[in-house]
Amino acid sequence: MINYNSLVKKWAQSLELYDFSEAQNLVEWLFEHHLGLRRVDMMHFLEEKDLPQALLSDFERLKKGEPIQQILEKAPFYGREFKVSRDTLIPRNETEELVHLIIKENPQPHLRILDIGTGTGCIPISLALEMNSAEVYGLDISEGALQIARENAKEFKTDVKFYQIDILKEEISVNELDILVSNPPYIPEKGKALMHKNVLDFEPELALFVPDEDPLLFYRVIAEKAKKCLKKGGKLYFEIHEDYGQEVLNLLKKQGYSKIELIQDLNDKDRIVKGILG
């Protein structure tokens, strides 16, 4: 017999890809998922040989660097658990900050909102649930991602409507929008060298990378197309790569947007650019 606390420490030591405190969190997350154990159960005693096979095989996947959210097929976002898959980006904390800003700044009822590059649908679904009777749409190029987004919308009983569109090639079919939001792919290919194995091997390239020679590709195309589908006075909100804040800001200026702002995330990195049409 071994107490839960010691077992967590023992397993965490063998997760070599993570620092020890992160490894402990991941192991606790697995135990909570499979056995319902929490930190307060640290003195609970377990027999290692009786642990369920599913827990052991999930732990093996964790050791190989697979993100825990993909092992458990769910990720927390803005107070809810969203289904994720190998076709979707795992929602990030920075994107929760973007959602929070939009909710805070737009208390009016019945706003029409579109999210471009929706992935799990975490942005439009959270906005639909948190805002005042908003009419919300999401689009993505990936059918696999859209399937997960639709499952999430059903799970949370929202009627967010999703479309499959390649934003680089097709026109946006929703118009008269009050808000257009996007967290598009924004990591230049050269950034791959610096990225953690568990992102590179397990998250879709389609969600992450842009060509080195054109890192602002999505921002330029979306800002241009947004002019046709935003109402006058409509708002554009972008999540951005921390190295490109000033450049995205200049791009919106050049495209004629007004009241443009660059906003930092909780880690003080440039993370959001917003502007108003007209």
Ligand X SMILES: C[S@@+](CC[C@H](N)C(=O)[O-])C[C@H]1O[C@@H](n2cnc3c(N)ncnc32)[C@H](O)[C@@H]1O
Binding residues for S-adenosyl-L-methionine: 117-121, 140, 183
Q: Is 95 in the site for ligand X (CB under 6 A)?
A: yes
The residue (of 118 and 198) whose beta carbon lies closer to ligand X is 118
Pairing between β-strand 177-182 and β-strand 161-164 as defined by DSSP bridges: unpaired
| 89: its two tokens | 């980006």
Q: At what angle do helices 93-105 and 122-130 cross, to 10 degrees?
A: 30
The residue (of 37 and 122) whose beta carbon lies closer to ligand X is 122
Q: Is 229 in the site for ligand X (CB under 6 A)?
A: no
Q: Is 122 in the site for ligand X (CB under 6 A)?
A: yes
Helix, strand, coil percentages for the chain (3-state, nearest 5): 45, 25, 35
CA dist 65 and 63 (Å) reads 5
Binding residues for ligand X, total number by CB under 6 A: 22
DSSP labels for 172-239? ----SEEEEEE----EEGGGGGGS-HHHHTTS-HHHHEE-TT-TTHHHHHHHHHHHHHEEEEEEEEEE
CA dist 200 and 59 (Å) reads 19
Q: How far is the CB of 172 from ligand X (least distance, A)?
A: 10
Rounded to 5 degrees, φ, ψ at 127 are -65, -40
Q: Is 119 in the site for ligand X (CB under 6 A)?
A: yes
How far from each other are the two terminal CA atoms of the chain, in whole angstroms?
Answer: 68
Q: Is 167 in the site for ligand X (CB under 6 A)?
A: yes
Which stretch in 30-38, 40-48, 177-185, 268-276 sits in contact with ligand X by CB under 6 A? Answer: 177-185
The residue (of 44 and 225) whose beta carbon lies closer to ligand X is 225
Binding residue ranges: 117-121, 140, 183-186
Site string for ligand X, 179-198 (x = CB under 6 A): ----xxx-------------
Q: Is 223 in the site for ligand X (CB under 6 A)?
A: no
CA dist 29 and 162 (Å) reads 31
The residue (of 119 and 215) whose beta carbon lies closer to ligand X is 119
The residue (of 10 and 269) whose beta carbon lies closer to ligand X is 269
Contact with ligand X (CB under 6 A): which of 28, 58, 135, 140?
140
Judged by the rule CB under 6 A, the positions of this chain that interact with ligand X are: 89, 91, 95, 117-120, 122-123, 140-142, 145, 165-168, 183-185, 206-207
